[in-house]
Amino acid sequence: MTVINNKQQQMIDFETSWYTLGGGSSREITEQFGLTDRDFFAQVDQLVDEAPPIGLSNSELLRMRQVIRRRLWMAR
């Protein structure tokens, strides 16, 4: 089991609340985490693989991963 720190948990919580809308806005990501879209979604992608959010069904988790990877692709 992977242990995550408070900031990492906040990032997962943020994306869990936003993935159904295509992910959080770039402005909010920068304001809350001080990261670019690319850096934020790269970190969240790794975190979701290592410590998937509790309470999401497999289909919800799949959708969240799709949003994260699409946002990574858009940030190239």
Backbone angles phi, psi at 12, to 5 degrees: -65, -45
HSE-up of 43 (CA within 13 Å, CB side)? 19
Which residues neighbour 76 within 8 Å (Cβ) at sequence distance 6 or greater? 38
* pLDDT for residue 1 is more than 70: no
pTM above 0.85, yes or no: yes
Q: pLDDT per residue over 27-76, tens digit each?
A: 999 999 999 999 999 999 999 999 889 899 999 999 999 999 999 999 98
56 backbone φψ class: left, alpha, beta (φ>0; ψ -120 to 50): beta
pLDDT at 76: 86
Res 31: pLDDT: 97
Q: What is the predicted pLDDT for the residue at 3?
A: 79
